[in-house]
Each structure stands twice: as structure tokens, then as C-alpha cells.
Chains A and B, each alone.
Chain A
Amino acid sequence: AQSVAQPEDQVNVAEGNPLTVKCTYSVSGNPYLFWYVQYPNRGLQFLLKYITGDNLVKGSYGFEAEFNKSQTSFHLKKPSALVSDSALYFCAVRHHYGGATNKLIFGTGTLLAVQP
């Protein structure tokens, strides 16, 4: 069965410092991996995705994520955090095989708090 783990409920970082939000996954075969961000009282917004190709994926708002197949991880990163990056971040996974449904399995979320 597919699953996603976000081991940290909250990540605290000072503005200007690099940030990492961790995600590990379990799926048979090749995964499609996604990161979403949720601001207070809003829906989830798509940040970036890994499908195939380069292990380093770049997305919106300066975020990037590194796919590591051997460690089954897809950590979200940003070189220099902003206070406005403070939000709830979700990692999600889907099977990569033909004829499948579009279902995404989400992690439990990590709250990122960037202190000024």
C-alpha cells in the first residue's frame, strides 16, 4: 500500500536560514511525488512535483525538492526562508502506472514557522 510519512509536526527556522521539510514515501514501482502548501483558512496549493528525470525539482516561490530513490525520500528545501513561507506543508504520493486512478495519498503535514 502507498503511504507517506512526514516525521516532523513542526519545523522552526530563522528568516534567511535554509529550510528543509522532510518526507519519506512507500509505494510499489515508480512514484509520482508532490508538495502542497496550505495557508491559514485556505485550500491546498500545488508547489512542485517529481515525475521522472532530474532528482532536483524546482517549484513555486523558490522552493525545490530532492528525490532520493535509495532513501525513498522527497525532502522540500529552500535556500533562504521568508516569514511569508510560514504555512502547513503536505507531501503526497501517487502510483505511476497506466490506467490508475488519480488518487493522491497525503502525509499528515508539517507546520513551518519562520521567525523574523
Chain B
Amino acid sequence: DAGITQSPRYKITETGRQVTLMCHQTWSHSYMFWYRQDLGHGLRLIYYSAAADITDKGEVPDGYVVSRSKTENFPLTLESATRSQTSVYFCASSESIRGGNTGELFFGEGSRLTVL
């Protein structure tokens, strides 16, 4: 019962290459999020999605692209990777806060990306 899975868990790439990190959730949560975790910065929101075909920018969206054609999937693409994008990326999902849900996030195990 993985719930939310990320792939790959580890990725090494070179500057300028395109990289896609995958995220899949089995709960049918309406909301999905991508965060990056860096020492001294905690978790910073890159993009989020309220539902299929609805996405919005977070705190640090530059250099990233997302899509959400299906509720369960929320891939994150680095179109031209840079060294500053070396980080650990976390996908998360939650139910909508409408209807009285409190909106706690459920996280994947993370994808560690190194850009050389």
C-alpha cells in the first residue's frame, strides 16, 4: 500500500539535459505538490495542482514544468537542468480542504537529483 510513489529515487544527469521526475498516488487525492529540500532552506514549494489540468506556481517555479493529465500522476520536468537544481525532490498529495478536511500532506520517499 505505497500510496504515493516517486521515480527514480536517484538520478545523476548533466547540465542542459532534460529530466522528468515521476509521481503517482493511489488515494485519488485532488491536490498534489512538488517540493525541493535543500540544506538551510527546508522545503520550498515548486508547483502544485488542485485537480487534473489545474496547476499553479509555488515559491520557486523557474526552470521547472509540470503537467497533470490524470488525477493520479504529477510529473515534474526540468527542461534544461542546471547545477542549482541539484536537490532532493518530494512529491506530496492531500485531500481538498473543502468539506472540512484539514489538508495534511502525505509525502513520497523523495527523488535525489544530482546535476553535474
Chain A positions within 8 Å of B, measured between CB atoms, are 6, 32, 34, 36, 41-46, 49, 51, 90, 94, 98-109
Q: Report the minimum CB–CB distance from A1 to chain B (whole Å).
A: 11
Interface centre among B31, B58, B103, B107 (most CB of A within 10 A): B103
Interface hit among B12-20, B69-77, B78-86, B91-99 = B91-99
User: In the complex, what distance in Å separates the CA atom of A32 from the CA atom of B102?
Assistant: 8
Closest to B94 in A: A102
**Is A109 in contact with B42, judged by CB distance below 8 angstroms?**
yes
Known: A102-B105, A106-B43. 16 other contacts (CB 8 A): A32-B102, A43-B107, A44-B90, A44-B92, A44-B105, A46-B106, A49-B104, A90-B43, A102-B95, A103-B45, A103-B48, A104-B103, A104-B105, A105-B45, A108-B41, A108-B42
Question: How many B residues face the partner with a CB closer than 8 A?
Answer: 29
Q: A51-B102, A108-B40, A109-B42 are in contact. Are A102 and B31 (CB under 8 A)?
A: yes
Q: A43-B110, A102-B94 are in contact. Are A90 and B45 (CB under 8 A)?
A: no
Residues of A close to B44: CB separation below 8 A: 106
**Is B105 in contact with A99, judged by CB distance below 8 angstroms?**
no
The 8 Å CB contact of A100, one of B41, B48, B97, B109, is: B97
Residues of A close to B42: CB separation below 8 A: 6, 90, 106-109
- Please name 23 pairs of A and B residues whose Cβ atoms are closer than 8 Å in the assembled complex, sorted by A: A36-B105, A36-B107, A44-B107, A45-B107, A46-B104, A99-B98, A100-B97, A101-B31, A101-B48, A101-B50, A101-B56, A101-B97, A102-B33, A102-B48, A102-B103, A103-B48, A104-B103, A105-B45, A106-B43, A106-B44, A108-B40, A108-B42, A109-B42
